[in-house]
Structure 1
Amino acid sequence: MAQSSPGFPARHRRIYPLSPRDLTAEQIAVTFAMTSRRPEPFDEIAQQVSAERAADFNERWVVGYGHASVAEHAIIHLAVENISRLACDALEDNRLASFTEKSSRYQVIDADSFWVPAELTARPALQSQYISACRALFDTYASLLEGVDTHLRSQLPQRENERDGGYSLRRRRLTTDACRAILPAATLTNVGLTANARTLEHAITKLMSSNLAEGRDIGIELRDQGREIAPTLVKYADHNPYIAARDAARDGPPPAHFATRDSQPGASVRLLDYDRDAACKLAAALSFRYGGDYGDALAGAAAMSEPERLGVIGAAVSNIAPHDSAPREFELAGYTFEFTFDYGALREFRRHRMQTYLSQPLTVTNGYDLPPLVHEAGLAGVFADAVAVAERAFQSVGEAFPTVAQYLVTHAHRQRVVSRMSLRECYHLFNLRSSRQAHESIRQPVVEAMRQAVAVQPELFRHLRLRDAPDWWPFPRESAGQ
């Protein structure tokens, strides 16, 4: 109960839901928005907000006056099924939304579960080569599943008292995890999407501006479904010429001065840049929380000795646990990396949406990574033959439709991405993805990125609590939560 002063009426704290069973998403959004100008409790305001009045309010304030924050109170859940992984990447490229996708690590993907792009309809020969390549990849996927499972039966004996079903499931998880690498970006997937109407409108606009027909069609369908739930809040999602031109330039041929530069595999991770004065920035930010001018805090941090600055930083995270977030002040220091890892790892890496990442169109020119389990099963040749078929089709389709060719990139093909992440995000990413539970294709690059960051600024990572610290970890094991 809220405290009140003598002589003043008591006001009782109230915390309660506005149920989507009783109110539409638009009514809830308007009810919250109206509290800025109305003194009544939310539930009393809600009784006055009919669906028609909510629409009128949104037309005037959201559409007419640009108060788009109102749309953030309208939460929309959409099920999206049987879209390509490539299109799913574009849908999931939105920071302020939540996604849960069908996992190829734990499920066996059905034969012929791949998207055939509409762009190829007018080119029957190319379409036939595309379909043949996808079928070859899925046929190889089925062969790999069988071959790897047979290998595991000989290398992974059934445990004492382990049921047949449990033993089969244990093998299948390892098998599907390895064999998914041969699947193309055309592979169909399902994804559950939760977003507020403002974010959804932006996502729809991006998709409707895509240079892929599938992306544009998905955008239209999302808009139609979104209008059923919050008609005025997603009303003006549409094709955006600026986004379309920007993406066309990115996915098109490079400028002349870049045209002769071939992409080579190179190192898997490179630390490109980092804040040399990170300790000073962090100490200043952590001092600023106590009041005063930031310029004074920065000057004070600059006057400190390095041990004093590190003492301020250490005090802020000395008690941090593996599941805790680093303080927001840690966002003032950052690191820029270039990663080269397979497409499967890239898809997982992009889920860390608090970073800033710069991707390139999917390509086969960087080579591919053979899953160790496939190699151990003696199936490297089978894998390579299927990859070769996909790469030939990629080249053929790419001559006419460079963007469409991306559908033929397998999850094993290496891709490049530049990432700028704050120290706070490093704490989260390094902890999560260096764990033994992480997929090896992303675990190894992340551990290497962590090694390079620790090498240049070790004291900033002294208090990072890792679930599974690598052998080279320079701090006592108790500092890594071990």
Structure 2
Amino acid sequence: MDEFTEHEKEILKHHFSNTDKPVFVITTPKQVDRGALMSRYSRSSKSMRRIFLDEFLNNPSRGEEFYERVLVEYGDDSVAELGLVQVGIEGISQIAIQSIEDRRIGLSYLEKSTRYVRFDQKVDGRYAYYRGDDIMGLKYVDAYIEACDLAFNTYSKSIEPMIKYLKEVEPIHSMHFLDSSKGVEVAFDELKSSDDVKMAEKAYESSIRAKALDVLRVLLPASTLTNVGVAGNARAFEHLLNILLASRLREEQSIAMMLYEELREYIGPFIKRVGSKHGESFRDYLNSTMAGITRIAGEYLKHDKDDGSYAYADTDADADEVRLVDYDKDNDEIEAKVVASILYEHADASYSDLLELARRMSREDRTSIIEEYVKHRANRRHRPLRAFEIPYYTFDLCTNFGIFRDLHRHRILTMQRQLLTVRHGYYKPMEVIDAGLEKEFDDCMYKSKEVYELIACREGKPLEAQYVVNLAYRYRYLIKLNLREAYHMIELRTSPQGHPAYRRVAQEMYRAIANVHPNLARGMKFVDMRDYSSRIEAEKRKLLKLNDNR
């Protein structure tokens, strides 16, 4: 390990976490220098700290020069992954945010919650929904505003009645809370400490409010504005920018241009190709492909221009939420492939030889190996190892758009989705019916449907019509995932604190996999198949846990 003079150490301490250990954090302020240092590292016999002193300290432009040469001139994409940035994007619609979160690799997202944040506030006397120039220039813009205002009004006016109803069906006196003196949960009326009572009341009020907002969020239209934080590497941001710039929606193009201007200040060299002939060529490819496939789809699917629908369209509001449409049909063969993969890391033989060995095994022996592979899992975070990435399952889902937003956060899978429409009916929470809010809910849905059809069919703008569709409307999308990711998704999404609608979807996915591959699904020990009529208890426990950790 290098030795540094006292003067060098004094300099280095402003750019690295230490000067005398083989493991250190790079803290030099300029993001472009951090990435360039790591890239330069791979082509030098010097240590990184010595490279910094020799090449970067007295050359403030060294990082930019490096990326200008390596990234722009030579097209070495991997070095762009060394530039990291965190951004905030505010005031964007539910349509735009899904396009952003479609990028699965290299970016992480945290979005404003519709469960814990009320969306009934007005800004300058107006609800916060998308009013871009493309929308305000529509022929039916007045109908659009009327429908969105109705959705927000219905949402806002329903909050207090829903809270009142939830308190009636699950009063605080029927629940249990922690007695700090005993270390166990007791009935609310048995709490002695005033602090325990205050904590219980706070948890109860928060859980009731969260439940109410969770039930009513499906009233919100896709035009609802939200905020998202995005963290990731420059290569992923470059791809995101190109995708958004190539979008057919003006909102997404506008987001891309603003994001590009902000990122240029901090990771400019990493994303320079967005504005070059390479970026333009990629966007031309995307647009040409989309135009060609749109034309072909219209021919093969027999587009009916009178109502904007397709002859090959499922408009059945009672269509299955979950359908397993593709999987390995030969149960013995897929088990043999998994067993061969399990053994592979412990053998010297080829995969082909191990597969033949697994095929010759008895079913009991294969089952025993598979069981050993998963039997030591103590909780859902103990995910199966990589052999379970061999089997794949393709699901055709038709859930409300709100549930899609939750499942969309899973990224180790392939997801393809259709445009948001009103043609598959809508989801109505049972609590809305029981609370006496059904008529207002239905009126809101009918109004959105009417305006959607005006914009999509009469005006011929199905892309822009998406903005008026409520989150309650059913949405069709395709998910292809491997068994390992299925374990993660299904066990997570069936947990008690999950939304009842996506818990139901995850439970159906589990049943489908267990039905075709029972041995492979048997290790999903943390799937919760119980039906929780209310999530208030789960919300209460989560909030109490958060308070305990503060």
TM-score normalized by the length of structure 1: 0.91
- Residue 4 of structure 2 corresponds to none
Q: Quote how far apart the aligned CAs of 1:436 are.
A: 1.2
Map residues 441-456 of structure 1 onto 2, 5 A cutoff: 441-456=501-516
**After superposition, where does 1:203-214 map in structure 2 within 5 Å?**
203-214=240-251
Say if 1:246 and 1:187 are closer, same or farther in 2 by CA, change over 3 A: farther
2:61 aligned to 43, 52, 68, which one? 52
Distance 1:13 1:316, change over 3 A: farther
Q: Which amino acid aligns with 1:279?
A: E
Find 1:108's aligned residue among 118, 122, 146: 118
Aligned to 1:302: 359
1:335 and 2:393 matched: yes
Q: Give the corresponding residue for 1:360.
A: 418
Residue number in structure 2 paired with 1:377: 435
Does residue 1:271 correspond to 2:324, yes or no?
A: yes
Tell me the equivalent position of 1:477: none
Partner residue, 1:351: 409
Alpha-carbon distance change, 61 to 241 in structure 1, aligned in 2, over 3 angstroms? same
Alignment of 1:166-315 (within 5 A): 166-237=203-274, 238=279, 240-248=283-291, 254-259=297-302, 260-263=311-314, 264-265=316-317, 266-275=319-328, 276=330, 277-290=333-346, 291-315=348-372
Identity of aligned residues (%): 30
For residue 390 of structure 1, what is the aligned residue in structure 2?
Answer: 448
State the one-letter code of the partner of 1:121: M
Q: Which residue of 21, 24, 28 corresponds with 1:16? A: 24
Structure 1 residue 46 displacement after superposition? 2.6
Q: Which amino acid aligns with 1:60?
A: R
Q: Distance in 2 between matches of 1:241 and 1:144?
A: 47
Distance 1:132 1:339 in 2: 31
Residue correspondences, number:
458
The 3 A distance-change label for structure 1 pair 467 and 444 is: closer
Q: What is the CA–CA distance in structure 1 between the aligned matches of 2:81 and 2:60, rounded to whole Å?
A: 17
Letter in 1 for 2:381: H
Per-residue deviation, residues 62-97 of structure 1 (Å, max 9, x unmatched): 111111111111111001111111100001111121
CA distance in 2 between counterparts of 1:405 and 1:425 reads 34
Contact 1:252 1:402 in 2 (8 A): no
Name the structure 1 match of 2:548: none
* Secondary structure at the counterpart of residue 394 of structure 1: helix
Distance 1:448 1:250, change over 3 A: farther
**Contact 1:280/1:298 (CA < 8 Å) preserved in 2?**
yes
Letter in 2 for 1:177: D
Q: Give the letter aligned to residue 94 of structure 2.
A: R
Q: Distance in 1 between matches of 2:471 and 2:313?
A: 21
- In the superposition, the TM-score normalised over structure 2's length comes to 0.80
Letter in 2 for 1:302: R
Counterpart-to-counterpart distance in 2, 1:394 and 1:404: 9
Aligned partner letter, 1:114: Y
2:193 paired with 1:150: no
Aligned mates of 1:252, 1:210 — CA distance in 2: 17
Where does residue 86 of structure 2 map in the other structure? 77
Give 1:417 deviation, angstroms: 1.2
Q: What is the CA distance between 1:338 and its match in structure 2?
A: 1.0
Q: Aligned letter for 2:513? A: A
CA gap 1:249/1:385 in 2 versus in 1, 3 angstroms: farther
Instruction: Please tell me whether the aligned partners of residues 251 and 403 of structure 1 are also in contact (alpha carbons under 8 angstroms).
Output: no
Task: Give the partner amino acid of 2:492.
Answer: L
Letter in 1 for 2:221: P
Shift of residue 284 of structure 1? 1.1
User: Any idea what the Cα deviations from partners look like across 1:338-372, whole Å, max 9, x if unmatched?
Assistant: 11110000011111110111111111100000011
The question of whether the paired residues in 1 share the 8 Å contact of 2:507 and 2:529 is answered with no
Conserved 8 A contact 1:390-1:408 = yes
Q: Decide whether aligned partners of structure 1 residues 428 and 411 sit closer, same or farther in structure 2, where only a CA change above 3 A counts.
A: same
Structure 2 residue aligned with 1:320:
377
Residue 135 of structure 1 aligns to a residue whose secondary structure is helix
1:31-75 CA deviation, whole Å, 9 max, x = no partner? Answer: 111111111112222332344111111111111111111111111
Partner secondary structure for residue 230 of structure 2:
strand
Runs of 4+, deviation exceeding 6 Å = 250-253
Please tell me whether the aligned partners of residues 210 and 247 of structure 1 are also in contact (alpha carbons under 8 angstroms).
no
- Secondary structure of the structure 1 residue equivalent to 2:269: coil
Name the amino acid aligned to 2:389: E
SS in 1 for 2:272: coil
Report the alpha carbon displacement of residue 117 of structure 1 after superposing the two structures with TM. 3.1
**Residue type of the partner of 2:244?**
L
TM-superposed CA distance for 1:249, in Å, is 5.8
**Aligned in 2, Cα 1:249/1:86: closer, same or farther, shift over 3 Å?**
farther
Per-residue CA deviations over 1:411-442 (Å, capped at 9, x if unaligned) read 10011111111010111011101111111111
Of residues 367-376 and 290-299 in structure 1, the stretch that sits farther from structure 2 once superposed is 290-299
Correspondence 1:427 to 2:477 = no
Do residues 126 (structure 1) and 140 (structure 2) align?
yes
8 Å contact from structure 1 (residues 117, 404) kept in 2: no
Whether contact under 8 Å (1:78, 1:192) holds in the other structure is yes
> Which one is further off, 275-284 or 385-394?
275-284
Is 1:464 aligned to residue 524 of structure 2? yes
Whole-angstrom distance in 2 between the partners of 1:406 and 1:427: 33
How big is the shift at 1:314? Answer: 2.0
Q: Which amino acid aligns with 2:475?
A: Q
Residue by residue over 1:184-232, the C-alpha shift from the partner in whole angstroms, topping out at 9 and shown as x without a partner, is 1110000000010000100111011110000001111111111111111
